[in-house]
């Protein structure tokens, strides 16, 4: 007796209403490898067309959707075939959905129940090798839900078994993964150094230069300047395993420095997928770098090492410190602030930032602690002070600390120059050897070809000529390098290095020493500089915490905005009153104060007479001395009514003569020259003009430049068609 299969029964669930619509056969395999190894499963799925015909559909009314071959059913986002199926069901075009088993349709509960709900709403039925199911029927819906749950659980179990096996193999150090540049894997599975010596030399040179330079971009510029390329083994394609030389780039170097394999550490689980950041359309996205204590596997001394573990940890710390974050020092930048990244606020303990002001094309740095302003909307900065006084203090202490080590510095500098030149010379030798091999190989290929076969010989001849040209160019570049950087230091060069290192101060202030060099030196021996302004005065307590833990504490003086912020302002005011009471003028008082050691608020050598007059007139309420509008003039012409000698007008307006000359050049003051020698300038200013000049005197600095810029912009806008 012949057995009757479930789909061959005259099932009452398939009606004429279903037969009037399409029957859809959904075909899917999870991976491309399954398409090659499990071809019988694919044939069985395509054979479902015959089963749809057996259920009553015409062959031309059976639609096969096989767009998802090689796609996993974990999600429907990237499965265009499943999306097409859902669309056809939603448009009421489908009466039957056929699949070899329900797991072929979806292994996600979200996608599976969406499909069931759409079939129930449109009246479509589903079928597999076990039978036909109507999602609108309670029993069938319960069975379909159970099948979907089992498919999803099965996928979870498969992944769990694979993951456990992977972790177990990784903990033994046997799990293979793509090796970074500088390593190869033997057929036995053992990881060894790349057999190409030039590849090893470049890797070691990169780590040595990063230790010396300290920044990723600086190391990249060094490699580009010396035309150094990275040797990369191809991981796929017909030339898999072949060595290619590629120019260095920032991301490759960053990955190289962060890779623990170069320190001999076998590590697994350094990057894990964060579902919140994963893009379903891009399989490689969502990976997040984990902290070292969160790595799944870390086994030291498994791989051959280019550097020590201590050097790897130092490189990691240096890269973290170079990040532009509030908690890190940051990389050395080109600004003039010497202690940038080292300064901490003595009040709140936070790192102080650098802020630059441009005045007369010069950048004026200042250290400011404004975290509360940025984060909490505070009214003012915690501390703010000019960087000049701090940098002068740091510079003085750094030079004092370096002075005893001058001899050691000279010897180390000479050894460092010798080591660097030796590494570069070794690399040049390997480049020349490789170029010679390539040229010889091209020559042998050319001679092995039959001379009559001109189609081949012409191409081999071009390749030989190209190899010879590359070899010649490399020789010329090497000769040029040898002339500019000889292999060994001459006695004169060693003596020069020793002399320069002995004169630390001269070397520090030399034109060849850049701001970046000075900052690197300061960071090498200083851990941080803690600043505490005493009240709002000019006195600042500065403490240097050296790298070894020792501290140096000193009180420095900063510029302040006004005289009344000075800690000795009461003594200064009393002294000015005393001298004014003795009948001494402003110039005489300025001379006395300079001799007695009083200094102005914003730095400088002396408090000017103009400042003393203003202080006496506005704050101290004491006689400031009478300003003579018409002093006896030298032999010559006398000013007329409403006319002034320039120094008298400057005193009347309480401004400097140089500013007055600037106003004359701008046409704000009318002048004439006296008719006889010495032909001095005489300014005209009546009462109304004096009032206008006094009003202009009260305007903020820079108002004239801003007005000129605005007028120029408006004129340009009017002339634009």
Query: DSSP character for 701?
Result: T
* Cβ neighbours for 389, distance < 8 A, ≥ 6 positions apart: 540, 556, 557, 558, 559
The count of residues in the chain is 721
Cβ–Cβ under 8 Å, residues 28 and 73: yes
Distance of alpha carbon 688 from the chain centroid: 59
Q: CA nearest 131: which of 22, 12, 17? A: 12
Residue 244 CB burial class (10 angstroms; 0-12, 13-18, ≥19): exposed
Cβ–Cβ under 8 Å, residues 659 and 703: no
Cβ–Cβ under 8 Å, residues 337 and 389: no
H-state helical runs in 454-601: 454-484, 491-502, 504-508, 515-525, 569-581, 586-595
Q: How far apart are the C-alpha atoms of 523 and 219, rounded to whole Å?
A: 18
Q: Angle, to 10 degrees, between the axis of helix 309-321 and the axis of helix 250-258?
A: 130
Contacts from 616-622 at CB under 8 Å and sequence distance 24+?
A: 616/576, 616/580, 616/586, 619/564, 619/573, 620/573, 620/576, 620/577, 620/580, 622/576, 622/577, 622/580, 622/581
Q: How far apart are the C-alpha atoms of 107 and 159, rounded to whole Å?
A: 12
Cβ–Cβ under 8 Å, residues 82 and 105: yes
Q: CA nearest 430: which of 603, 188, 194? A: 194
Place of tokens 């430049």: 705
Place of tokens 């740095």: 365
**The two three-digit tokens of residue 677, written as one number:** 């020698």
Q: Give catalytic status of residue 308 as yes or no.
A: no
Residue 319: how many other CB atoms lie within 10 Å: 18
Q: DSSP labels for 670-697? A: EEEE-SSTT--EEEE--HHHHHHHHHHH
H-state helical runs in 261-358: 309-321
Q: Angle, to 10 degrees, between the axis of helix 309-321 and the axis of helix 197-213?
A: 50
Q: How far apart are the C-alpha atoms of 404 and 234, rounded to whole Å?
A: 52
Helices (H) and strands (E) in the chain, counts: 25, 23
* Cβ neighbours for 41, distance < 8 A, ≥ 6 positions apart: 29, 34, 100
Choosing from 30, 103, 108, 122, which is the catalytic residue?
Answer: 30
Give me the phi and psi of 243, to 5 degrees please. -95, 130
* Cβ neighbours for 136, distance < 8 A, ≥ 6 positions apart: 120, 123
Q: CA nearest 347: which of 527, 528, 529, 532? A: 532
Query: How do 526-533 and 681-684 pair as beta strands?
Result: unpaired
**The two three-digit tokens of residue 297, written as one number:** 């596997």
Residues tagged active-site = 30
């Amino acid at each position: 007796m012949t057995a009757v299969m479930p789909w061959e029964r005259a099932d009452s669930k398939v009606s004429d209403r279903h037969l009037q619509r399409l029957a859809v056969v959904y075909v899917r395999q999870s991976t491309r490898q399954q398409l090659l190894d499990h071809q019988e499963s694919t044939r069985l799925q395509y054979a479902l067309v015959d089963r749809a015909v057996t259920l009553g559909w015409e062959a031309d009314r059976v639609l096969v959707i096989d767009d998802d071959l090689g796609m996993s059913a974990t999600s429907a986002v990237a499965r265009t075939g499943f999306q097409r199926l859902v669309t056809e069901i939603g448009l009421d075009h489908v009466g039957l959905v056929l699949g070899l088993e329900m797991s072929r349709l979806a292994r996600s509960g979200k996608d599976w129940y969406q499909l069931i709900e759409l079939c129930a709403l449109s009246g479509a039925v589903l079928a597999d090798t076990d039978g036909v199911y109507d999602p609108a029927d309670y029993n069938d819906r319960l069975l379909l839900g159970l099948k979907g749950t089992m498919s999803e659980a099965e996928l979870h179990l498969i992944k769990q078994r694979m993951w456990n096996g992977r972790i177990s193999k990784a903990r033994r150090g046997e799990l293979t993964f793509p090796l970074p540049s500088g390593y190869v894997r033997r057929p036995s599975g053992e990881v060894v150094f790349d057999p190409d010596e030039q590849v090893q030399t470049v890797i070691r040179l990169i780590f040595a230069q990063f230790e010396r330079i300290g920044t990723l971009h600086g190391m990249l510029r060094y490699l580009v300047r010396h035309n150094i390329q990275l040797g990369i083994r191809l991981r796929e394609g017909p030339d898999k395993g072949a060595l290619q030389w590629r120019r260095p780039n920032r991301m490759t170097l960053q990955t190289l420095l962060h890779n623990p394999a170069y320190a001999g550490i076998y590590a697994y689980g350094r990057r894990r997928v964060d579902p919140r950041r994963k893009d379903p359309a891009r399989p490689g996205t969502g990976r997040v770098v984990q902290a070292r204590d969160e790595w799944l596997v870390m086994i030291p001394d498994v791989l051959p090492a280019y550097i020590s573990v201590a050097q790897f940890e130092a490189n990691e710390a240096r890269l973290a410190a170079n990040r532009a974050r509030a908690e890190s020092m940051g990389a050395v930048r080109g600004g003039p602030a010497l202690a940038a990244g080292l300064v901490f606020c003595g009040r709140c303990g936070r790192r102080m930032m650098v802020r630059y002001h441009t005045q007369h094309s010069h950048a004026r740095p200042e250290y400011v602690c404004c975290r509360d302003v940025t984060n909490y909307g505070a009214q003012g900065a915690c501390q703010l002070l000019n960087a000049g006084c701090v940098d002068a203090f740091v510079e003085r202490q750094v030079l004092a600390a370096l002075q005893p080590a001058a001899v050691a510095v000279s010897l180390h500098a000479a050894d460092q120059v010798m080591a660097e030149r030796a590494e570069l010379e070794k690399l040049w030798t390997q480049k020349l050897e490789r170029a010679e091999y390539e040229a010889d190989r091209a020559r042998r290929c050319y001679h092995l070809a039959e001379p009559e076969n001109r189609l081949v010989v012409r191409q081999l001849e071009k390749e030989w000529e190209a190899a010879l040209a590359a070899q010649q160019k490399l020789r010329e570049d090497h000769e040029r390098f040898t002339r500019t950087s000889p292999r060994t230091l001459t006695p004169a060069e060693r003596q020069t290095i020793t002399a320069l290192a002995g004169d630390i101060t001269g070397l520090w202030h030399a034109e060849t020493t850049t701001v970046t060099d000075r900052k690197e030196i300061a960071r090498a021996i200083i851990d941080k500089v803690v600043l505490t302004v005493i009240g709002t005065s000019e006195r600042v307590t500065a403490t240097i915490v050296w790298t070894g833990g020792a501290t140096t504490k000193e009180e420095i003086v900063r510029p302040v905005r006004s005289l009344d912020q000075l800690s000795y302002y009461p003594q200064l005011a009393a002294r000015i009153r005393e001298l004014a009471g003795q009948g001494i003028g402003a110039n005489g008082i300025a001379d006395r104060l300079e001799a007695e050691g009083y200094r102005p608020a914003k730095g400088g050598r002396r408090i000017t007479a103009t400042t003393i007059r203003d202080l006496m007139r506005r704050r101290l309420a004491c006689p400031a001395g009478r300003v003579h509008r018409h002093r006896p003039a030298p032999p010559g012409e006398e000013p007329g009514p409403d006319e002034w000698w320039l120094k008298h007008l400057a005193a009347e307006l309480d401004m400097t003569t140089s500013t007055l000359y600037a106003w004359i050049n701008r046409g704000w003051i009318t002048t004439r020259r006296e008719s006889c020698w010495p032909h001095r300038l005489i300014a005209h200013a009546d009462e109304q003009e004096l009032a206008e000049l006094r009003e202009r005197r009260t305007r903020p600095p820079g108002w004239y430049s801003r007005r000129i810029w605005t007028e120029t912009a408006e004129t340009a806008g009017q002339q634009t068609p």
